[in-house]
């Protein structure tokens, strides 16, 4: 019985990951392209070169100028997920971002929530805090957490 429940939960998570990746991909947000879902197994595009996976942002060892540019990309990832996909990542950090082909890609979107989720804004505030904390530790001048949150949700800003 518990094995069946476990497989069902895995299948639900895989289905949600597939749906969210399809939304991001359709909105031209850098993410692995989902290829196929069978039961609880999701096959997606490999991000890397010559069989070597692209590094997580945490492990990419970017030089200072590239790190500053990565911050801008991350800010736009948060904003574009919010406006184009109506999603909040809800576990946004340097561990769930890859640097591939000189661009920051978002991964692990199975826990992402839609904007009507009762905790969507709480999760977005945490996502903003995690992003800013990481980049500040790397010596990047960042927005305040409130400024980043306000930029992400602002309807009037054109990007």
- Rounded-to-integer distance, Cα 93 and Cα 134, Å: 8
Give phi and psi for 128, each to the nearest 5.
Answer: -65, -45
The CA distance from 63 to 72, in Å, is 15
The active-site residue, picked from 59, 91, 122, 154, is: 91
Distance, CA of 77 to CA of 29 (rounded, Å) = 7
Catalytic-residue membership of 91 = yes
Q: Which residues pair with 52 in a beta bridge?
A: 49
Backbone angles phi, psi at 10, to 5 degrees: -60, -40
Residue of 59, 108, 127, 133 marked catalytic = 108
Residues acting as catalytic residues = 91, 108
């Amino acid at each position: 019985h518990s094995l069946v429940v476990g497989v069902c939960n895995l299948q639900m998570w895989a289905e949600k990951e597939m749906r969210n990746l399809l939304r991001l991909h359709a909105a031209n947000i850098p993410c692995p392209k989902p290829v196929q879902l069978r039961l609880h197994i999701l096959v997606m595009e490999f991000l890397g070169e010559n069989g070597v996976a692209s590094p997580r942002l945490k492990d990419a060892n970017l030089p200072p100028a590239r790190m500053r540019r990565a911050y801008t990309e991350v800010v736009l990832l948060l904003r574009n997920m919010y406006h184009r996909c109506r999603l909040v990542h809800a576990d946004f950090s340097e561990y769930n971002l890859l640097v591939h082909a000189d661009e920051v890609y978002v991964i692990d979107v199975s826990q992402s929530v839609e904007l009507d989720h009762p905790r969507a804004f709480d999760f977005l505030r945490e996502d903003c805090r995690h992003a800013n904390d990481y980049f500040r530790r790397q010596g990047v001048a960042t927005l305040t957490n409130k400024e980043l949150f306000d930029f992400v949700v602002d309807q009037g800003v054109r990007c």
